[in-house]
Structure 1
Amino acid sequence: MKENLTPGKQIERLCREQGISQKMLAERIGVSPSQISRIIREETKSVSSEMLMGLAEVFQVSTDEILGMKPNQKDRKEKETYLPMMLMNTAFEPGKCREFMDSTEDPDIRNMVYAEYAYFSGQHEKAVKLAGKYLTNPNPLMALSACLIYSFANLTLNHISQARQGLDMIAGSLKSYEKNRSGDRKQEALLVFMSAASRVLLHLPAEEMPQLSDYIGELPEGMRLWGCYVMAHEAYLNQQYEKSLGIVQACLALTGKIYPIAEIYLRLVAAMDAMSLRDQELARTYFMEAWELARPDDLIEGIGEHHGLLQGLIETCMKEAYPEDYRRIIEITYRFSYGWRRIHNPDTNEEVADNLTTTEFTIAMLASRGWTNGEIAEYMKMTERTVKQHLTATFNKLNINNRKQLVDYMLR
């Protein structure tokens, strides 16, 4: 009987064949030598996703080879279902995200789930490293997810050329997926969903496609939530705030399980709607619900991305109560906003907005939406004089003279 190829035996064999000592291997992947020894001696049967990726990189082999998978095992693995952005589209109890990730058996799916988590928790370098290995994966949905994570993470890292590369690959993946789809309505729904998300959230040009609302019922529940977020966000961008809020409320009312990441984004867009409708109490309620979903698993990325559209909610709800989390979220805001402007406005002089502090940006957004200095002061818990000082600084930085010009700048 042929001996099973365990990870320990495979690592021992590869070390021997490539002349790498256990100590050297441990240094290269950033673990202790005792961890490598325990795996080789088979005192532990599990290899973490991060360690698995590190081993594959050092030995220049596939993760399948590290795990000792036989061909028939690999064939079964490749037939397992993978949904784009699987972590976002999975239900789990807040605080137990890592348990779900570690329970994922397929090593490639597990690596992609870890890449996704790294992005949504603001660990952009790790997200790029993990997702970068799957940009050309034979599974088109896995490749698309990798490109999405890779693009957004590089954008926040201000790696603009890599972010553009990822966006180009997304566009190519969508065309390839459209060309090779079988005609099944559920597959058609996936294509409509991905196309709508790319058009609304990434501003990528898209071919004429059916309305996402016509296919939303064909999507799995978690992806359906994200599809509702896309539709609500598009309505928000079109200044249809009541419609956007209605989409979110109906979606959340019909949801049977908790999908933390998708629900964070849904509640954030609802908070944006409520602020635009001048309902501060409702806006704070939705924002704090989003924060309570994000906090247990440190899923802070989405909050930072939506800073400007949240119109001061981060400051009024978090600055005093959660100062350290607030600091980290604002850091994401600065980095994401700067990268976003660079990649979507390469031929304009938008970089002047990078001089605005988050407080100045928030006050400018509120002023551009018709708030008086007194209303802004009461909401932001500062004096009217301070509001005037921030607006004066903003006008100087943007090289404008009045609120009408501010409206043209902020809402274009």
Structure 2
Amino acid sequence: MEYLTVRETAEKWSLSDRMVQQFCIDGRIPGAQKFGKSWAIPMEAEKPQDPRVSRRQKQQAAGPLDITCLMPLMNTPFQPGKCLAVVETMAAGPQRDISLAEYHYFSGHPEEAAKGAEPYLTSTDMGARLSACLIYAYANLPLGHIQRARFALNELKAALGSQRGSPEMEAASAFVAAAGAVLLHLPLPEGLPEIQGFFPLLPLGLRSFAMYIYAHYRYIQGDYAASVGTVEGVLAMGAGQYPIPAIYLHLVAVMDYMGLRQTEQARAHLLAAWELARPDDLIEGLGEHHGLLGGMLEAVIKPEWPEDFKRIINITYSFSAGWRKVHNPDTGHDVADNLTTTEFAVSMLAARDWSNPEIAEHLHISLATVKRHLSSAMMKLDVSQRHDLRKFMLQ
């Protein structure tokens, strides 16, 4: 008889490691055997029926929302360079644990982030549970654990439909569900309220990130002017005191201004994001957004901070690989795959009708290099015309 580990079984059944272990402890997997501290599970074992209670029962079983545990680091103002110090001042408990998981994620350490979030996936503290699911979903994408990411994303959707109670509880559920969908360019979950309806109920830091989500959604729709107008307004109202939301707001502004072909404004916002991110090494967002930044990382960060650029690009490759495995099958859109980051940047600009000389000047590369990267990208994507790049690059 062949056996699987707990982790392999969790991947197969789209469950968390913790739930599979509990199935083993409860004797719900026939033939499962424990060797030392590890479980061996028969390969042909069937997934037990989901023991989780109905949505109404789950709502009754869940504790109240502790807003201090809802993405607490995102909701904390701090001076750049003081991020980890702020986390260390928090009292031991869910708020500190979730904050540390956030720090690990936003600083590009997804494995530590996933480990920190996992114990709270079934917490009765809804703030901690919702935060854990969001962190766990995103952290598992660059790790290649797609089924775990899907498990957490599905938990966010389920929470959206089950959390009927206080307006604050519904706002918290809507916030994480929107973040789980919009940032991955997935269809909005059924029943998601308009963001203008729930964001005023969030604390200031999360409200700023909610407006980033809204701006990103408008960007996806191609309404760059409305998106960047939202961003500029939120930043003008003091969102910069919350570095994590501010980084993401500046990044979507870069995306918008590149869409509007206003490169100087895009450059200014990228540098603003970098000034907030670099002191605490909060570089995950730059890696996540690389393909949408129109070559700005190559134009601005690479020449001055080449080692940081390399680390950002490593994040881009790992995150994008996981992202495509969720996005492409769920949307039916074949977003560009197997391109280098430079090929992607060149192709994105070409899809936006930039000429080869304009691309060369923007990326500080030769015209021949632009042609070489563009030719390679078009060959990989099996297209023969520049306008055919749109269906791959502008989804």
Aligned-pair distance for 1:347?
A: 8.0
Which of 224, 227, 230 matches 1:241?
224
Answering whether residue 149 of structure 2 is matched by residue 163 of structure 1, we say yes
- Measure, in 2, the Cα distance between the counterparts of 1:302 and 1:187: 27
Would the aligned equivalents of 2:208 and 2:246 in 1 still touch at CA under 8 Å? yes
The structure-2 alpha-carbon separation of the partners of 1:275 and 1:260, relative to structure 1 and needing over 3 Å to count, comes to same
Query: Which portions of structure 1, spanning 4 or more consecutive aligned residues, are displaced by more than 6 angstroms?
Result: 347-352
Aligned-pair distance for 1:257?
A: 6.1
Aligned equivalent of 1:90: 76
Aligned equivalent of 1:324: 307
Aligned-pair distance for 1:201?
A: 2.2
The structure-2 alpha-carbon separation of the partners of 1:107 and 1:339, relative to structure 1 and needing over 3 Å to count, comes to same
TM-score w.r.t. structure 1 length?
A: 0.76
- The structure whose Rg is larger is 1
- Measure, in 2, the Cα distance between the counterparts of 1:319 and 1:145: 33
Task: Calculate percent identity across the aligned residue pairs.
Answer: 47
Would the aligned equivalents of 1:140 and 1:173 in 2 still touch at CA under 8 Å? no
Would the aligned equivalents of 2:77 and 2:242 in 1 still touch at CA under 8 Å? yes
Would the aligned equivalents of 2:178 and 2:188 in 1 still touch at CA under 8 Å? no
Answering whether residue 380 of structure 2 is matched by residue 397 of structure 1, we say yes
Aligned equivalent of 2:390: 407
Aligned-pair distance for 1:96?
A: 0.6
Would the aligned equivalents of 1:171 and 1:204 in 2 still touch at CA under 8 Å? no
Q: Which moved more, 1:200-209 or 1:396-405?
A: 200-209
Aligned-pair distance for 1:232?
A: 0.6
Matches within 5 A, 1:29-48: none
Aligned-pair distance for 1:192?
A: 3.6
- Measure, in 2, the Cα distance between the counterparts of 1:256 and 1:174: 26
- Measure, in 2, the Cα distance between the counterparts of 1:324 and 1:247: 33
Aligned-pair distance for 1:98?
A: 1.3
The structure-2 alpha-carbon separation of the partners of 1:138 and 1:243, relative to structure 1 and needing over 3 Å to count, comes to same
- State the one-letter code of the partner of 1:133: P
Matches within 5 A, 1:3-402: 81-177=67-163, 179=164, 181-182=165-166, 184=167, 186-202=168-184, 203=186, 205-255=188-238, 258-346=241-329, 353-402=336-385
TM-score w.r.t. structure 2 length?
A: 0.79
Aligned-pair distance for 1:80?
A: 5.8
- Measure, in 1, the Cα distance between the counterparts of 2:135 and 2:368: 43
Aligned residues: 333
The structure-2 alpha-carbon separation of the partners of 1:408 and 1:126, relative to structure 1 and needing over 3 Å to count, comes to same
The structure-2 alpha-carbon separation of the partners of 1:248 and 1:333, relative to structure 1 and needing over 3 Å to count, comes to same
Aligned equivalent of 2:14: none
Give the secondary structure class of the aligned counterpart of 2:78.
coil
1:370-410 CA distance string (max 9 Å, x none) = 10111111111122222111111111111111112112222
The structure-2 alpha-carbon separation of the partners of 1:169 and 1:278, relative to structure 1 and needing over 3 Å to count, comes to same
Would the aligned equivalents of 2:328 and 2:335 in 1 still touch at CA under 8 Å? no
Aligned-pair distance for 1:351?
A: 8.0
Aligned-pair distance for 1:78?
A: 8.9
| Structure 2 stretches lacking a partner, 5+ long | 1-36, 38-62
- Measure, in 1, the Cα distance between the counterparts of 2:239 and 2:356: 43
- State the one-letter code of the partner of 1:124: P
| Structure 1 stretches lacking a partner, 5+ long | 1-57, 59-76
Give the secondary structure class of the aligned counterpart of 1:355.
coil
1:10-32 CA distance string (max 9 Å, x none) = xxxxxxxxxxxxxxxxxxxxxxx
